[in-house]
């Protein structure tokens, strides 16, 4: 896939930026404190703004860098080489998805009050859909309700895995507003500012031994007679799933290209360690055939994954989410598994060092395991692809 010379220049600049400014922050993120990291992140965010890499997925009119989905996908790979790459460019999930949602479906008032400061990086946001009491794999089944009372919605329910709610200014909650409606028309998306009475951020859910903090955390949240104005509804009543689908298509491109960046960095680290680490004088690890095969398999799988994602991004950009349905589901489970294999090999090559937080490998090994679960578990996406393939050869009842 060819890229323009201006994009190629931007990617070279992004690589240099990540190497020079972002990777040196990693020790503070991986083994230091939030207090040590925060001022450094603020400095590097200012550099990213000056370099034109700020909010890359958003149009220039609202303060972004105005990149197309395919351009952002390429940039995402470069930024993904560090766990902090997307955050320092204000391109991190779930904010980027919320920004795109508000841009496309938000009212003028919502854009002014919430989108503007989000793009500026003055506030952060979160998205509350999954509930502890229901299978998130069937997102139409939920207990959280938003009942209209005059000019307000009264929201009740519990959610968990609301990523980045810690320190966010608001969350977008998915709640049932039309209980009698068709299963895909029952829910709506509503903005809830964190200071609203009746909203509680209960705790950060520990994930693989890490409760996290700030944007790198996942909260359990609760709504108890939480009242917000009807004007906080995004789109129309019952539009919740349509909006979620619109958000998830590009979101899966963003995640998978970020994962390819992780694979590239893991491969770099794996090769360097294999060259530097000697098993005996003059006999580096790289002389072992098994290590060479791990490196070769990682290169082949990463390249294949990249081509699949760029193809899906192009189809999505040209034809919309529906046209790229198979490709989006295929990359979601395929790349998540490539990522897991590549990071696992890199950990193995590093021996004991691979288990420490002196490289980002252990962080990715712990936290990116979730890539096979969030935004649709592997099995759900495999079902989508299989259904489309089977339908090409006749109709069959696939209800489980
Ligand atoms: C790190 C992380 C961050 C997250 N961030 C957010 C967030 O910001 N906002 C939010 O709302 N949610 C978030 N989630 C929640 C996530 O979207 C859900 O975990 C996901 O949708 C799966 O739902 P579940 O956990 O209820 O698993 P379940 O639905 O209970 O599924 C359990 C397992 O069953 C299997 N399975 C499910 N369906 C099928 C099927 N049809 N066929 C075969 N097997 C199947 C899969 O292996 C699946 O992993 C996050 C989750 C994680 C781990």
The yes-or-no verdict on residue 347 having pLDDT over 90 is: yes
Domain count, the chain: 3
* Average pLDDT over all residues of the chain: 95
Question: Do 226 and 197 contact (CB within 8 A), yes or no?
Answer: yes
pLDDT confidence of 88, banded at 50, 70, 90?
very high
Q: Does residue 60 belong to any structural domain of this protein?
A: yes
How far, in Å, is the centroid of ligand 1 from the Cα of 137?
A: 5
Supply the pLDDT for residue 400: 67
Is residue 15 located within the same domain as residue 69? yes
Answer yes or no: is pLDDT of 260 > 80. Answer: yes
What's the 304 CA to ligand 1 centre distance in angstroms? 26
Evaluate whether 56 touches 91 at the Cβ level (below 8 Å): yes
Ligand 1 mean position, distance from CA 372 (Å): 9
Write the pLDDT tens digit of every residue in 155-180. Answer: 999 999 999 999 999 999 999 999 99
The answer to whether residue 117 is domain-embedded is: no
Inside any domain, residue 115? no
The partner residues of 189 in beta bridges, in order of sequence, read: 174, 234
Tens of pLDDT along 183-225? 999 999 999 999 999 999 999 999 999 999 999 999 999 999 9
Distance CA 384, CA 245 (A): 14
Pocket test for ligand 1, best of 93, 94, 96, 130 (most atoms within 8 A of CB): 130
Is there a single domain that holds both residue 160 and residue 189? yes
369 and 258 assigned to the same domain: yes
3-state helix, strand, coil in the chain (%, to 5): 55, 15, 30
The CA dihedral of 197, 199, 201, 207, to the nearest 10 degrees, is -170
Same structural domain, 250 and 336: yes
Is the same domain home to 227 and 260?
no
Ligand 1 close to Cβ of residue 130 (< 6 A): yes
Asked if 257 and 358 sit in the same domain, the reply is yes
> Is residue 160 lining ligand 1, measured as CB closer than 6 Å?
no
**Side-chain-side CA neighbours of residue 84 (13 Å):** 26
Residue 398's pLDDT band (cuts 50, 70, 90): confident
User: Is the separation of the CB atoms in 218 and 203 below 8 Å?
Assistant: no
Of 199, 214, 234, which residue sits at a domain end?
A: 234
CATH number at residue 49: 1.10.540.10
Interval between CA 130 and ligand 1 midpoint (Å): 8
CA–CA separation, 202 and 299 (whole Å): 43
Task: Tell which atom from ligand 1 comes closest to the C-alpha of 367.
Answer: 1
Domain-located, residue 109:
no
The answer on 86 and 141 residing in a single domain is no
Give yes or no: residues 131 and 203 share one domain. Answer: yes
Q: In the prediction, which pLDDT does 33 show?
A: 85
Residue (of 251, 270, 299, 320) closest to 92 by Cα position: 251
- Tell me whether residue 153 is in a domain: yes
Q: Which of 5-19, 127-141, 244-258 has the lowest mean pLDDT?
A: 244-258
Q: Are residues 331 and 248 in the same domain?
A: yes
**pLDDT above 80 (res 2):** no
Using the atom order of ligand 1, give the atom closest to the CA of residue 159: 11
Q: Do 31 and 143 fall into the same domain? A: no
Q: Do the domain assignments include residue 118?
A: no
222 lines ligand 1 (CB under 6 A): no
CA distance 353 to 360: 11
Q: From the centroid of its chain, how far is CA 139?
A: 18
Q: What is the mean pLDDT of residues 49-75?
A: 93
Q: How many Å lie between the centroid of ligand 1 and the Cα of residue 134?
A: 10
Task: Find the 39 Cα to ligand 1 centroid distance in Å.
Answer: 34
Ligand 1, atom 38, lies closest to the CA of 137
Q: Evaluate if residue 236 carries a pLDDT over 90.
A: yes
Q: Which domain holds residue 71?
A: 5-100
Distance 186 CA to ligand 1 centre (A): 20
Neighbours of 74 (CB within 10 A): 23
Which domain CATH number covers 191?
Answer: 2.40.110.10
Answer whether 162 contacts ligand 1 (Cβ < 6 A): yes
14 alpha carbon – ligand 1 mean position (Å): 33
Domain co-membership, 230 together with 248: no
Whether 40 and 181 map to the same domain: the answer is: no
User: Is 248's C-beta closer than 6 angstroms to any atom of ligand 1?
Assistant: no
pTM over 0.85: yes
| Mean pLDDT along residues 276-300 | 98
Task: Give the range with max mean pLDDT: 49-53, 276-280, 391-395.
Answer: 276-280
- Please list, in sequence order, all residues whose beta carbon lies within 8 angstroms of the beta carbon of residue 14, skipping any fewer than 6 positions away: 53, 75, 78, 79
| Token pair 């390249």: residue | 303
Residue nearest to atom 11 of ligand 1 (CA): 129
Residue 198, burial from CB neighbour count under 10 angstroms (0-12, 13-18, 19+): middle
In a domain, 105, yes or no: no
* CA–CA gap between residue 256 and residue 287 (Å, rounded): 32
């Amino acid at each position: 896939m060819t890229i323009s010379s201006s994009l190629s220049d931007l990617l070279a600049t992004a690589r240099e930026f990540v190497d020079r400014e972002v990777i040196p922050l990693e020790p503070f993120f991986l083994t230091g404190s939030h207090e040590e990291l925060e001022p450094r992140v603020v400095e590097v965010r200012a550099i990213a703004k000056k370099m034109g890499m700020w909010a890359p997925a958003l149009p220039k009119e609202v303060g972004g860098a105005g990149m197309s989905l395919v351009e952002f996908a390429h940039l995402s790979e470069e930024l993904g080489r560090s766990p902090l790459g997307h955050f320092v460019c204000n391109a991190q999930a779930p904010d980027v998805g919320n920004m795109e949602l508000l841009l496309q479906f938000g009212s003028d008032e919502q854009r002014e009050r919430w989108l503007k400061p989000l793009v500026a990086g003055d506030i952060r946001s979160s998205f509350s859909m999954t509930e502890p009491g229901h299978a998130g794999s069937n997102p139409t089944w939920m207990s959280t309700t938003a009942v209209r009372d005059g000019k307000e919605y009264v929201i009740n329910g519990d959610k968990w895995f609301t990523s980045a709610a810690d320190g966010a200014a608001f969350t977008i909650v998915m709640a049932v507003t039309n209980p009698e409606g068709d299963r895909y028309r029952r829910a709506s998306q509503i903005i809830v500012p964190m200071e609203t009475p009746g909203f509680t951020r209960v705790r950060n859910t520990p994930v693989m031994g890490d409760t996290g903090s700030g944007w790198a955390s996942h909260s359990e949240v609760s709504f108890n007679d939480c009242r917000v104005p009807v004007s906080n509804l995004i789109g129309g009543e019952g539009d919740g799933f349509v909006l979620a689908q619109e958000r998830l298509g590009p979101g899966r491109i963003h995640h998978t290209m970020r994962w390819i960046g992780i694979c590239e960095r893991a491969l770099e680290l794996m090769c360097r360690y294999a060259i530097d680490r000697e098993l005996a004088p003059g006999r580096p690890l790289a002389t072992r055939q098994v290590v060479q095969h791990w490196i070769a398999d990682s290169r082949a799988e990463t390249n294949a994954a990249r081509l699949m994602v760029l193809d899906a991004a192009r189809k999505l950009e040209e034809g919309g989410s529906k046209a790229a349905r198979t490709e989006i589901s295929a990359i979601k489970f395929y790349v998540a598994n490539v990522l897991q294999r590549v990071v696992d090999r890199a950990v193995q090559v590093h021996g004991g060092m691979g288990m420490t937080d002196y490289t980002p490998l252990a962080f990715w090994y712990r936290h990116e395991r979730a890539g096979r679960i969030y935004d649709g578990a592997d099995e759900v996406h495999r079902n989508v692809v299989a259904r489309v393939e089977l339908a090409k050869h006749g109709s069959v009842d696939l209800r489980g």
